[in-house]
Structures are given as C-alpha cells and as structure tokens.
Amino acid sequence: MGTHQGRRTDAARRQRNPIAAVFAANSPGMDRRQTGTLAENSACAFLEAQGFTIVTRNFLRRIGELDIVARAGDLLVVAEVRTRGTERFGGAAASITRPKQRRIAATTSLLLQQYRELRNCRVRFDVIVIRNGTVEWLKHAFDA
C-alpha cells in the first residue's frame, strides 16, 4: 500500500509541476525534438510565472534560431533553453559557445528589424537550464 501511495504522490507532484513533467515524460522512446519542445514549454511557463509575456518562440533565420523571446516592460529577454540529464561534458550552460552566442546576437538583430516596436527595449541574453525537473535561470548569461 505504501508503494502505491508513493506513486500517486509522485504523479500528483508532476501534474502540479510542469517542469518536472519534462523528465517524467522523457523516456527512451522520446526523441530530442520532443524533449526540447517540452523543455521550451516549461521555460515559457516559468518566464510567464515571473511576469514575462512571450513575444515569440523558435524565431528561425538562416543565421540562427532564438528559442524564446519574452518581454516585461522595457526589458526584452532572449532565452536559450538547454536541458541535460547529466553534467558530463560541462553541462547545459557550457554548451553555449562563443560562436553560438554570436549567432544568437545576430539573429536578435534580425528580430529587432522585424519587430520595430521592440527596438527601444533593453535586451538581455539569458540561459534557462532545465535539469532533473528544476529550472536554473542564468540571467545576463552573455553579452552581445
């Protein structure tokens, strides 16, 4: 009886915590795209809970892609979402290399050309790491 009750508690906890659902649902049959989509959904929910409005997701241009662009007042956050099951090879945050940062900055310039109403916003580059059902928000992760 105690085991059954524990499973029900874990299931209830995952339902209340959408971020935990990323790893609860991540099974061997799940591909990287599905895992990435779940991680981005969780990151969006997290940012919205912090008072941000999602401007766009997966802004794709030839030079690069922006995972999430969110706004709160005059602050525009360009968030790169990373998820890893392990810290091997430096972890998720370490995977955002200088060339990747340059591509994100260049793609942000294209975004600001398209969304003229955002040109007067302060831009901040953040990284949101989702690992084992928790969120690590690295504000000002890099400068353009």
Please state the pTM of the whole predicted model.
0.77
pLDDT per residue over 39-78, tens digit each? 999 999 999 999 999 999 999 999 999 999 999 999 999 9
Domain that holds residue 51: 2-142
pLDDT per residue over 17-33, tens digit each? 555 554 444 445 567 77
CA 60 to chain CA centroid, Å, is: 15
Sign of CA pseudo-dihedral 61, 64, 68, 71: negative
What is the CATH number for 68? 3.40.1350.10
Q: How many domains does the chain have?
A: 1
| Residue-level pLDDT at 124 | 97
Residues whose CB falls within 8 Å of the CB of residue 40, separated by 6 or more in sequence, listed in order: 57, 58, 67, 68, 81
* Cα 66 to Cα 48: distance, rounded to the nearest angstrom: 17
pLDDT per residue over 93-102, tens digit each? 677 899 999 9
Residues whose CB falls within 8 Å of the CB of residue 139, separated by 6 or more in sequence, listed in order: 124, 126
* Cα 9 to Cα 123: distance, rounded to the nearest angstrom: 41
- Work out the angle at residue 117's Cα, subtended by the Cα atoms of residues 112 and 121, and round it to the nearest 5 degrees: 70
